[in-house]
């Protein structure tokens, strides 16, 4: 699920304009972080992102990854999720479909789902409370029933 080239260029331009407006440097390392997060189809924490960049030969520092993620959050190009007690996870946000999450409490596997009824509820609640909702986050925790769940508890026969 890679991002189309024209969309990626639009994302880069948004980040360039954001950095210029903030009088921040437009470094290759910052753009490497941006491009890696948009090349990643899963949710990734900052350390995983750092390791992926290092494996690709990038000269990015861990501090640059963390600082760039904060900048990307501020300009709404990434979104941060806190799933339970785990380290914060990030995913691309630009022109990305609204979705919610199921989190297995045994294996920490993350499943995305989309249900249009949630959008309808969000719109109704915003209207009832005269509230302009920009986004929402719904995380449902439980136990996946996959046979392959490595920490699946034994069920009694």
What is the 3-state secondary structure of 78-147? EEEECCCCCCCEEEECCCCCCCEEEEECCCCCEEEECCHHHHHHHHHHHHHCCCCCCCCCCEEEECCCCC
Q: Which CATH number belongs to the domain containing residue 25 in this structure?
A: 1.10.10.10
User: Whole-model pTM above 0.75?
Assistant: no
Check residue 116 and give its pLDDT.
81
111 with 62, same domain: the answer is no
Q: Burial of 157 by CB count in 10 Å (0-12 exposed, 13-18 middle, 19+ buried)?
A: exposed
Percent of the chain at pLDDT > 70 equals 91
Given pLDDT bands bounded at 50, 70 and 90, which one contains residue 26? Answer: very high
Q: What is the mean pLDDT of the chain?
A: 86
Tell whether 121 and 81 lie within a shared domain: no
Domain count, the chain: 2
Last residue of a domain, one of 69, 96, 123: 96
Handedness of CA 90, 92, 97, 98 (dihedral sign): positive
User: Quick one: pLDDT at residue 124?
Assistant: 92
Q: Are 105 and 141 in contact (CB under 8 A)?
A: yes
Q: Are residues 113 and 45 in the same domain?
A: no
- Predicted confidence at residue 96, as pLDDT, reads 62
Domain final residue, candidates 96, 121, 146: 96
Between residues 98 and 34, the one the model is more confident about:
34
Q: Mean of the pLDDT values across residues 9-28?
A: 95
The stretch 33-59 carries a mean pLDDT of 92
- pLDDT at 100 > cutoff 70: yes
111 and 79 part of one domain:
no
Question: Looking at 78, 96, 114, which one is the last position of a domain?
Answer: 96
- Do residue 123 and residue 54 come from a single domain? no
What is the structure's pLDDT at 157?
44
Q: What is the pLDDT at residue 155?
A: 60
Residues 19 and 79 placed together within one structural domain of the fold:
yes
Q: 56 is in which domain, residue-wise?
A: 1-96
Task: Assign residue 146 the CATH number of its domain.
Answer: 3.30.1490.190
Q: Are residues 63 and 115 in the same domain?
A: no
Sign of CA dihedral 47, 52, 57, 58: negative
What's the order of all strands across the beta sheet hosting 139-142? 110-113, 100-104, 139-142
């Amino acid at each position: 699920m890679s991002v189309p080239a024209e969309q990626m260029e639009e994302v880069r331009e948004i980040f360039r304009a954001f950095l210029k407006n903030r009088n921040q440097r437009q470094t290759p390392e910052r753009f490497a972080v941006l491009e890696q997060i948009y090349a990643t189809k899963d949710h990734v924490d900052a350390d995983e992102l750092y390791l992926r960049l290092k494996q690709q030969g990038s000269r990015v520092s861990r501090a640059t990854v963390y600082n760039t993620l904060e900048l990307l959050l501020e300009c709404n190009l990434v979104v941060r999720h806190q799933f339970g007690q785990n380290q914060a996870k990030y995913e691309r946000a630009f022109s990305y479909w609204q979705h919610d999450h199921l989190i297995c409490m045994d294996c920490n596997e993350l499943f995305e789902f989309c249900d249009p009824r949630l959008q309808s509820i969000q719109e109704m609640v915003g209207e009832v409370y005269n509230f302009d909702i920009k986004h929402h986050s719904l995380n449902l925790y439980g136990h996946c029933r996959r046979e392959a769940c490595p920490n699946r508890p034994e069920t009694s026969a």
